[in-house]
């Protein structure tokens, strides 16, 4: 899949009902399945990206109330994606929940971007859903 130019991301108001729309960025298919089940049950419309490049394509074409981001992915990893988002639309960082099993130093670097929350895998499902709802209510 070729990457689209990412000179700008859509404004928050572009897509109707975006308060319940969520993007999961994770290369692990079973993890995506878990997120799909738990977040759909919580009332979110869930879309997926398999890496940072795929996420940039989806972010350029849609508006998301919440972005769930793994840090360790091929092609364009989570930290690199955070850098790109900061350069394109810094306010979007507040809509990101990091969900990762990365080492403490990497998690700390990700938290420095001002994301909504950092959640270590494995996580408590109820707590994660509460974080997603909190994040969506602020967008």
Q: Which domains does the chain have, with CATH numbers?
A: 18-138 (3.40.50.2300)
What is this structure's pTM?
0.85
Query: Residue-wise pLDDT tens for the chain (139 aa)?
Result: 334 444 444 443 333 445 689 999 999 999 999 999 999 999 999 999 999 999 999 999 888 999 999 999 999 999 999 999 999 999 999 999 999 998 999 999 999 999 999 999 899 999 999 999 999 998 7
Please, what sign has the CA dihedral across residues 105, 70, 64, 11? Answer: positive
Res 7: pLDDT: 45
Edge-to-edge order in the sheet of strand 117-120:
45-49, 21-25, 66-69, 96-100, 117-120
Beta strands in 44-109 (DSSP E): 45-49, 66-69, 96-100
Res 19: pLDDT: 66
Res 59: pLDDT: 94
Taking CA atoms, 94 is separated from 3, 13, 16, 111, in Å, by 24, 16, 20, 11
Res 6: pLDDT: 44
R_g (Cα) of the chain, nearest Å? 13
**Structural contact between residues 70 and 25, judged by C-beta atoms closer than 8 angstroms:** yes
């Amino acid at each position: 899949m070729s990457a689209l130019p990412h000179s700008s991301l859509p404004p928050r108001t572009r897509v109707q009902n975006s308060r319940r729309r969520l993007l999961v960025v994770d290369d692990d298919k079973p993890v995506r399945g878990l997120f799909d089940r738990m977040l759909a049950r919580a009332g979110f419309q869930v879309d997926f990206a398999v890496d940072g490049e795929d996420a940039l394509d989806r972010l350029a074409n849609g508006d998301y109330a919440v972005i769930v981001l793994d840090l360790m992915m091929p092609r364009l990893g989570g930290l690199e994606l955070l850098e790109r988002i900061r350069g394109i639309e810094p306010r979007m960082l507040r809509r990101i929940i990091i969900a990762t099993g990365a080492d403490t130093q990497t998690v700390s670097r990700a938290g420095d971007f001002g994301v909504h929350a950092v959640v270590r895998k494995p996580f408590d499902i109820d707590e994660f859903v509460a974080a997603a709802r909190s994040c969506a209510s602020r967008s």
